[in-house]
Amino acid sequence: MAEIQQQDKGGGKGGKKRAKKMSTKIDMTPMVDLAFLLLTFFMLTTTFAKPTVMQMTMPVKPKPDDPPQELPASNAFTIIMDENNKIYYYEGLLKEGEAKPELMPTSYAADGIRKVLLERKRRDPKTVVLIKAADKSNYKNMVDILDEMNITDQKKYALVDISKADEDLIKTSGK
Amino acid sequence: MTPMVDLAFLLVTFFMLTTKFAPEEAVVVDTPSSTSELRLPESNVITISVDKDKRVFFGMDDAKPKLAMLSRVGAKYGVSFSAAQAKTFSNLSSFGVPVQQLPDFLSRDNEQRKTIKQPGIPADSLNNQFIDWVVEAQAASRTAFGKPAYIAIKGDGLADVPTVKKVIKLLQEKNINRFNLITDLETKPVAGK
């Protein structure tokens, strides 16, 4: 412990009262307590200061004279997010005059959409996932689904606007 | 005990010096969580916040390009700022008022500013100030750092999708195709189980 040596100035005329020698040892415990408190505080605040980010790359705007890319229906897998955290998916594409794909309800839980995506990926590694968020769904749903894309390691996925046909499909399916 | 105390104080000093306190946010945004482990870079970040009332806020972290951006956007809309207002602006982490109201907003004191309900930056097709802020911010950080700023979108979990999509679409129109969604950390589940 820190000690300060006090030198006796043994001079003077044998002074009347010699100051009583006090111990110079200080109790450091409160200071150390404070030091550790601060240490913990700063350690915790620094670690959690930086938020994490999810990278997202959107396709470059197509040039007007580029031919539109056709996606074969066999590779298409659509996820639709609706209000109240509802989520549906269907395989294939929704095209005018063709048989409508079957709309399946699922959930955001681990054994919901994730299982479906993994299963689909095993069957068809070239799957392209189309993510359609209805206007009434919330941003959390969008982030959750994008996160599922990372978790299930999908190679190709895109955020697409929801079409009228998709909305009708939800309505008519009644699920 | 002395060596331990020495070490404790050394660490305290270290953490005190390295900590940067999070600046006060203009808007409370409760971000959703994701398993992504990427961290937001330290500097040169533009933060676009979208809250649950469809308001859009704009924030930038570096003071120097921020001032250049302010004067250029101001010039575009014919709004001028005094030196004191510009200084206040450089200390704001984010703001959400139309540029016409910005001088008045900046000349109020800190306490007053907190009580004002900011309407958000107009981002519709008739009055699209939002994209001007982004474009000027990118230009300013390109002159200051030689590279465009990193764009982060901070959306509230309950924010609606059309607003977020609109923001993304506006950015895409300016050929900004790479951006980042700010999220909280969540532990990664084991895939395939």
Q: What is the pLDDT of residues B134-189, one digit of tens each?
A: 888 888 888 888 888 888 888 888 888 888 888 888 888 888 888 888 888 776 66
What pLDDT does B114 receive? 79
The token duo for B158 is 């309950």
By Cβ distance, the residue of A58, A59, A147 closest to B34 is A147
Residue B93 contacts A, CB cutoff 8 Å: no
Question: Which residues, other chains included, contact B76 with Cβ-Cβ below 8 Å and sequence gap of 6+?
Answer: B132, B136
Residue B61 contacts A, CB cutoff 8 Å: no
**CA dist B188 to A110, A150, B99, Å?**
11, 10, 42
Tens digit of each residue's pLDDT, chain B (193 residues): 788 888 888 988 888 887 766 666 677 778 888 877 777 777 788 888 888 888 888 888 887 888 888 888 888 888 888 888 888 888 887 888 888 888 888 888 877 887 888 888 888 877 888 888 888 888 888 888 888 888 888 888 888 888 888 888 888 888 888 888 888 877 666 544 4
Query: CA of A18 to nearest chain B CA: how many angstroms apart?
Result: 32
Please report the ipTM that was assigned to this predicted complex.
0.75
The token duo for B87 is 């200084």
What's the N-to-C CA distance of chain A in angstroms? 75
Residue B168 contacts A, CB cutoff 8 Å: yes
Residue B98 contacts A, CB cutoff 8 Å: no
**DSSP secondary structure of B11-60:** HHHHHHHH--PPPPPSS-----EES--EE--SSSEEEEEE-TTS-EEEEE
What's at B13, amino acid-wise? T
Nearest residue of B to residue A160 by CA position? B165
Nearest residue of B to residue A40 by CA position? B12
What's at A11, amino acid-wise? G
Nearest residue of B to residue A117 by CA position? B192
Q: Determine whether the interchain pair A159/B175 forms a contact, defined as Cβ–Cβ distance below 8 Å.
A: no
By Cβ distance, the residue of A54, A140, A150 closest to B158 is A140
What pLDDT does A4 receive? 58
Q: Where are the domains of chain B?
A: 44-185
Q: Is A12 exposed, middle or buried (0-12, 13-18, 19+ CB in 10 A)?
A: exposed
What's at B60, amino acid-wise? M
- Mark out the alpha helices in chain B (DSSP H runs): 2-18, 63-77, 83-91, 102-107, 110-115, 129-145, 161-173
Residue A142 contacts B, CB cutoff 8 Å: yes
Q: CA-to-CA distance for A71 and A59, rounded, in angstroms?
A: 15
Q: Is the pLDDT of residue A5 over 60?
A: no
By Cβ distance, the residue of A53, A137, A161 closest to B182 is A53
Interface of A with B in 23-62 (CB under 8 A): 28, 31-32, 35-36, 38-39, 42-43, 45-46, 49-61
Mutate to test the interface with B, among A114, A122, A143 (most CBs of B within 10 A): A143
**Which CATH number do you get for residue A134?**
3.30.420.270
**Residue A53, in any domain of the structure:** no
What's at B182, amino acid-wise? I
Give the residue from B58, B61, B178 showing the smallest Cα distance to B129: B58
Task: Give the helix/strand (H/E) hosting A164.
Answer: helix A164-173
Chain B residues with CB-CB distance to A81 below 8 A: 161
**Residue A52, in any domain of the structure:** no
Question: Which residues, other chains included, contact A32 with Cβ-Cβ below 8 Å and sequence gap of 6+?
Answer: B1, B5, B8
Expressed as residue numbers, the domain containing A140 is 73-173
Query: CA of B44 to nearest chain A CA: how many angstroms apart?
Result: 14
Q: Strand A86-91 and strand A76-82: pairing?
A: antiparallel
Interface of B with A in 141-160 (CB under 8 A): 152, 154-160
**Residue A55, in any domain of the structure:** no
Nearest residue of B to residue A82 by CA position? B161
Q: CA-to-CA distance for B179 and B164, rounded, in angstroms?
A: 12
Residue A84 contacts B, CB cutoff 8 Å: no
The token duo for B157 is 């979990």
Max intra-chain CA distance, chain B: 69
**Residue A49, in any domain of the structure:** no
Q: Total structural domains in chain A?
A: 1
B151 SS3 class = strand
> What percent of chain B has a predicted confidence (pLDDT) above 90?
0
Q: CA-to-CA distance for B138 and B146, rounded, in angstroms?
A: 10
Mutate to test the interface with A, among B34, B166, B173 (most CBs of A within 10 A): B34
The token duo for A114 is 């994730």
Alpha carbon dihedral A41, A47, A51, A56, in 10-degree steps, equals: 180
Q: Determine whether the interchain pair B38/A55 forms a contact, defined as Cβ–Cβ distance below 8 Å.
A: yes
A54 SS3 class = strand
